[in-house]
Amino acid sequence: MKLPNNFFFKMFSPVICFMIFINIAIAQNPIVTHMYTADPTARVFDGKLYVYPSHDVDVCNELQGSNGFCMPDYHMFSTEDMVNWKDHGVIMDQNEVPWGGKDQYGMWAPDCIYKDGTYYYYYPGVPADKSAFRRIGVATSKSPTGPFKQVSHYIKGIQGIDPGLFVDDDGKAYLYYGGGNGKGALKVVELKDNMIEIKDKAKDVEGIVYKGYREASFLFKRNDIYYFTYARIGDNNYQIEYAIADNPIGPFEYKGVAMENIGNGTNHHSFVEYKSQWYLFYHDWSISDNNRLRSMCVDKMEFNEDGTIIPVKPTLRGVGTPKAGDIIQIDRHNGIEKAKVSIVQGNQPRGFQLDYIENNGWVKFDRVNFGDGSLQELRVRASSENSGGVLELRTGNQDGPLLASVTIENTGSWNTWKTFTGKFTGTTQGVKDIVCVFKGKDSYLFNVNWIKFSAGDVPESNNTLAYELQEAPKPSVKNKLTEEELLRIPKKRGEGIAKIGEVIQIDEHNGIENARISPTQKPQPKGFQVGHIDDKGWIKYDRVDFGEGNLKDFKAMVSAGERGGTLELRLDAKDGPILASMDIENTGGWNKWKLISVPFTEQTNGVKDIVCTFKGDGANLYNINWIRFTSSSVPSSLEAHPLEKGYTNTNISTTKTKKVPVANKKQNPIVKAGDIIQIDKHSGIDNARVTPVEGDQPSGNQVGYINDGGWLKYAGVDFGKGKLKTMKALASSGVSQEGILEIRIDSLTGPVLASIKIPNTGGWKKWKLVSAPITGKAEGIKDIYCLFKGKGKNLYNLNWLRFSSDDVPSSKKAHPLEKSGSVSAAVPKASGGSTETPKDRARRLRDIAKGKKIGIPLGQIMAIKSGVGKYLSVQGENIAATADAIGEKERFTVLSVSGNVVAIKSMATNKLFSARLNQDGIPVIASHSGEPQDWEKFTWQKIGEIQFTLKAHNSGLLQVNEDNQNSLTAGKGSKLSIKGILAFEIIK
């Protein structure tokens, strides 16, 4: 039903600005959301603040970009109030660089500085002459917004990334840049007056902590103190640090942390003073869940009396005070209740939204400037799949003076956005805190992206903004690959079986996480490698024939330009038994390859799947080109392979790992009807993760973090002669919306074998058995794909699957792992009936009665069916379960809803009835006369294992008719139990 509450979510392809000079009214973090922007350098020119960031896109393939980053051009932005940001469009494209390689997607962090009437724009680029990883180029302009004219050559005598410029009070200009790691990786050089040549040789920046240095050279001056800042992997991982000196060259004195790790894979920053306030600009990856698709942010910063920096803590609220006409992203809140924040979806620019909004929920947003109080209209950008509700704008707190109300209607879906308006009925002036209060009758009312108000003293505040009309924009860079290039892109693992002694090109994988495939760097042969390896990453390789066993050595061709890490060879899964483990140290550079060999510490044989798991401190541990095994049973495998020639076989004595018994299973074990399919033992996975089981299940693993469109493959399922019956799954879910598990044959687009609905089970640790009849056909041995469907992320968890067949009678019996409290997801028949037995239905109704409440739209016409499968009809004062088909007498209209208590009216007799709705819209009903009153509404008094007791609001108790156990009347009397069979189901 709702979009998930998850800040770390993969977004759509990035977009260019939809027109040049867009006014982007975003006062909150991130400050730009219509595209990805990173490495922001902020400068103040002529009273206006400009930001020069890099531009991340996500359309590169394995042949494009550098280190996983895909960056084709540069935009720039400006502001005068720290609220409204203007996108000045592309000021430089990668293919405009006269000395640069074409289509390299390597335009990393830039800077811009003013000197003697000219603006100088500095940037790193990939040189066409391949003389270095990056060279630093210059472009000039008479305006801070360009156009910039390219200097025909890069700055000679230096090479590196992240140029940072500083012009001192005496007019001398300095260029800071970095590249590599370790002492001397950061350089400073004075520039000549022409700003495109170096005056002397570059010097090392002295006095900083080099261990773990990553990027971002930036120097600023305050009160005659020179602050040199940079990003480093320190004690708290990726953080911004600084050192000070009394001159721009140093040596500097290390002072500490300016911003602690914020959970980014990277960070790159700048400091600037604007209108007597200091700010720290940086980037995060909150709207992409990808540390290579980043968004720039800004927060205020302050100094201690001694000049040291008070560490900056990032905020959602950001800086600036919005006013009439500005977009207010209220998800960047200062307080929230009965609502959540998620990534926005649908026809809106990337960013965040408020969702899971409940009645009487609210969100607070500080510092809004209402000017002189001539308020006119409030606009709200919202979506709803329910009946909507009302947004009240109040000042101070949720009970403060009411300024305006806006009615929000159903927009067609949670992802379809519309702008709703309402007039101001109250007034205020000056800078005030605001609170949006949400009212409505459904369980979840609507989603909100932003609000905006107009005022008479700000005429342009009533203009229609592009954000009010915009549909989801298109990607800014198209993937243009030749047929030859397409053939070079690495393919997934084929059908062959790797054997002892063969080289396994590990990039041709069956699954990968926290690592990336890229072209092999010299001096290895052309091909691909696994790089950008992070701690806890892994890569899987199916079907390796270990023969008779007698395993001797595990070999790997590796390179490491930094600290290295550990490579573990595991059996079957990323947490499977360890066969061998090798430590990889710095090899002298990413292109310096070494052959490492370690002995097997455990044995196995036959055809098995293997997983290489990566461990180390942080990110970018090492690269792997290939692996190879040897065995004393295969003498030829002990000889050097042609790819090993020229390399020293570095034998590493490792501490023997704790022995874990490795079962010598039969080759390619087949799962049959009645067997438990532990789906974490997969042959492929995407948009889901394997984690240890939590909750009321035996120890083991589960598949969790399941996102819409994700999938899991399981190879080798024997469906026999195909007389299939039921598919079951053990699942858990802590979200309100229902998810779907589709079982498909052979591929993600193959025939659907079964479709299982997975409801909220009461929590992520509460497991229930869900099932559905097998509606498709399959026979013999097939591969199956579990395709995950739902809205957003974190749909449900799965522990195992099981199917039954008429050919295997025992497969229809309950397995020991199946628990009694099951949830059936039977597919209704065309007649409205079900495959459930009355006993199954009664059990399911009891389970549902314990679930969460939901709402039903007013005026909805429905038919009602009792727990024994009969349709209800009106007979006198009672409702009796006597009809076998839906007729006019069996239809009812919803009159009022209060939470999950409703009043309904028969369309045949106009008599009124009360119903207490449960999670599936299942009511227990009593008949009345007159208009709906409190005495006609009922609540649960007690829910036992098999009995329900209802109590009227006027303290009267329901009575069961003695002559008809399927009917109820309202009245006062002794307390009676009402059996589960008296629950009724709404059939639309």
Provide the pLDDT for residue 114.
97
Q: Which residue has the higher pLDDT, 867 or 545?
A: 545
Quick: pLDDT tens for 931-943.
Answer: 444 333 333 333 3
Mean predicted confidence (pLDDT) in 424-441? 95
What is the rounded distance in angstroms from the CA atom of residue 848 to the CA atom of residue 862?
A: 19
Compute the C-alpha angle 379/384/386, nearest 5°. Answer: 135
What is the rounded distance in angstroms from the CA atom of residue 58 to the CA atom of residue 69?
A: 8
| Three-state secondary-structure class, residue 980 | helix
Six-digit token pair at 762? Answer: 């009461």
The neighbour count for residue 524, using CB atoms within 10 Å, is 18
Would the pLDDT of 482 be above 80?
A: no
Mean predicted confidence (pLDDT) in 248-255? 96
- pTM of the predicted model, to two decimals? 0.56
Would the pLDDT of 895 be above 60?
A: no
Six-digit token pair at 48? Answer: 């206006």
User: Which of 282-291, 310-319, 645-654, 809-818 is least confident?
Assistant: 645-654
User: Which of 48-52, 77-81, 176-180, 594-598 is least confident?
Assistant: 176-180
> 148 burial class (0-12, 13-18, 19+ CB within 10 angstroms)?
buried
Q: Give percent of the chain above pLDDT 70.
A: 74
User: Which of 454-463, 568-577, 657-666, 857-866 is least confident?
Assistant: 657-666
Mean predicted confidence (pLDDT) in 976-983? 31
Nearest to 378 by CA among 400, 343, 406: 406
The single residue listed with the structure tokens 């990883």 is 133
pLDDT band at 60 (very low <50, low <70, confident <90, very high): confident
DSSP state of 673: T
Nearest to 539 by CA among 565, 505, 495, 500: 505
pLDDT band at 921 (very low <50, low <70, confident <90, very high): very low
**Torsion-angle region of residue 194: left (phi > 0), alpha (psi -120 to 50) or beta?**
alpha
The single residue listed with the structure tokens 């290895």 is 524
What is the rounded distance in angstroms from the CA atom of residue 576 to the CA atom of residue 570?
A: 5
Using omega within 30 degrees of 0 as the cis cutoff, is the peptide bond preceding 523 cis? yes
DSSP state of 637: G
pLDDT band at 292 (very low <50, low <70, confident <90, very high): confident
Provide the pLDDT for residue 429.
94
Provide the pLDDT for residue 857.
46
Q: Which residue has the higher pLDDT, 873 or 534?
A: 534
Would the pLDDT of 261 be above 60?
A: yes
Q: Cα-Cα-Cα-Cα dihedral of 345, 351, 356, 359, to 10°?
A: -120
Six-digit token pair at 31? Answer: 């400050």
Provide the pLDDT for residue 637.
92
Quick: pLDDT tens for 660-698.
Answer: 333 223 334 578 888 888 877 777 787 787 777 877 777
Provide the pLDDT for residue 914.
57
The neighbour count for residue 345, using CB atoms within 10 Å, is 24
Provide the pLDDT for residue 324.
92
Would the pLDDT of 553 be above 50?
A: yes
Helices and strands (H and E) in the chain: how many: 3, 67
The single residue listed with the structure tokens 């100088």 is 120
Q: 254 has which bridge partners?
A: 243
- Tell me if 596 sits within 8 A of 560, measured CB to CB: no
b/e sequence 205-237, b meaning 16+ C-beta within 10 Å: bbebebebbbbbbbbbeeeeebbbbbbbbbeeb
Q: Which residue has the higher pLDDT, 34 or 465?
A: 34
Backbone torsions φ then ψ of 160, nearest 5 degrees? 155, -165
Residues 6+ apart with CB under 8 A from 933: none
| Three-state secondary-structure class, residue 606 | coil
The neighbour count for residue 95, using CB atoms within 10 Å, is 12
Would the pLDDT of 957 be above 50?
A: no
User: Which of 525-529, 869-873, 915-919 is least confident?
Assistant: 915-919
> 515 burial class (0-12, 13-18, 19+ CB within 10 angstroms)?
buried
Mean predicted confidence (pLDDT) in 977-988? 34
- The continuous run of DSSP H or E covering 531 comes out as strand 528-531
What is the rounded distance in angstroms from the CA atom of residue 830 to the CA atom of residue 284?
A: 52
User: Which of 109-123, 195-209, 258-272 is least confident?
Assistant: 258-272
- The continuous run of DSSP H or E covering 487 comes out as helix 483-488
Quick: pLDDT tens for 851-871.
Answer: 333 334 455 555 655 444 456
User: Which of 344-348, 531-535, 572-576 is least confident?
Assistant: 344-348
Would the pLDDT of 524 be above 70?
A: yes
Provide the pLDDT for residue 26.
56
Backbone torsions φ then ψ of 982, nearest 5 degrees? -90, 0
Mean predicted confidence (pLDDT) in 301-316? 93
Provide the pLDDT for residue 875.
52
Mean predicted confidence (pLDDT) in 469-479? 49
Given strand 938-943, what is the order of strands in its sheet?
938-943, 947-952, 978-979
Given strand 270-274, what is the order of strands in its sheet?
270-274, 277-284, 295-301
Provide the pLDDT for residue 871.
60
Q: What is the mean pLDDT of the chain?
A: 78
Strands (E) located in 338-388:
340-343, 352-355, 362-369, 375-383
What is the rounded distance in angstroms from the CA atom of residue 35 to the CA atom of residue 958?
A: 60
User: Which residues are tagged catalytic?
Assistant: 39, 215
Quick: pLDDT tens for 613-666.
Answer: 999 877 778 999 999 999 999 999 999 888 888 786 666 544 333 333 332 233
pLDDT band at 713 (very low <50, low <70, confident <90, very high): confident
